[in-house]
Amino acid sequence: MGRSKIEALRALDLFAMLDGGQLEQLARGAVAKEYETGDVLFLEGQPCQGLWIIAEGAAQIVKTTPQGRQLVLATQAAPSAVAEVPVFDGGPYPASVIAVQPTWALLLLKQEFLGMCRAQPELALHFLQAFGKRLRHLVGLAERVTFGTIRQRLALDLLERANLAGVDSFQMEETQEQLAARLGTVREVISRNLGRFQAEGLLRVERRAVVIADRAGLESEAATEL
């Protein structure tokens, strides 16, 4: 994980309009942190420290239901930003973020980030526009997780795994029981839908190896109309 803080910030569309001096200012106040797979960047309900940048690796945004079940809202691969909303509204983190790969992250401390926005209002407007687009995207993902069928949720989950791997083949790290619990169903339903996806030519599964054979078809299955 050898990139500089400035390089990591420059790679993010959010900071595309910043000049060298502004990037240096942000980089000076950024705290670099490294995480292994399974490590928690922050927990739902904790006070917001600042804006997090996933500079390398990937992390999942996880919401815990009142019954204690965890729902994965999204998987954020580098380069991406998380925890934008509580930076501005002053509330706690609304969800947990957990590394799913070795991850290098930058924490832009809230007061320093907000101070830069106050000093340069045009930057604040740019950031809010970018955060608004991100929020709309997350709302769409939340709707899929909440209202989509198990078939749709499973298709979306498989596509996210392939996107993280960078190719349309990957190893399933979870058992079918674990996957079922996370998607809010039982193992038999997961097994049945995987079998249907194979029969329809959308993917191939051998033990824990998965190959997406028809990405367009699987993306169509993942699309949810509400």
Rounded Cα–Cα distance for residues 11 and 13 (Å): 7
Q: Give the C-alpha separation, 41 to 220, whole Å.
A: 33
Query: For 166-221, what is each residue's pLDDT tens digit?
Result: 888 888 877 888 788 777 788 899 999 999 999 999 999 888 889 999 999 999 88
Task: Please give the pLDDT value at position 226.
Answer: 45
Pinpoint the residues of the chain covered by CATH 1.10.10.10: 149-222
**Overall CATH class of domain 5-146:** mainly beta
Q: Average the pLDDT over 30-42 and give the result.
A: 94
Q: Which two tokens stand for residue 41?
A: 């960047």
Q: DSSP E strands: which ranges in the chain?
A: 30-35, 40-42, 50-56, 58-64, 70-77, 80-82, 96-99, 103-109, 169-171, 203-206, 209-212
CATH number of 149-222: 1.10.10.10
Name the segment(s) of the chain with CATH classification 2.60.120.10. Answer: 5-146
Provide the whole-model pTM: 0.67
Q: Average pLDDT in the 78-84 region? A: 87
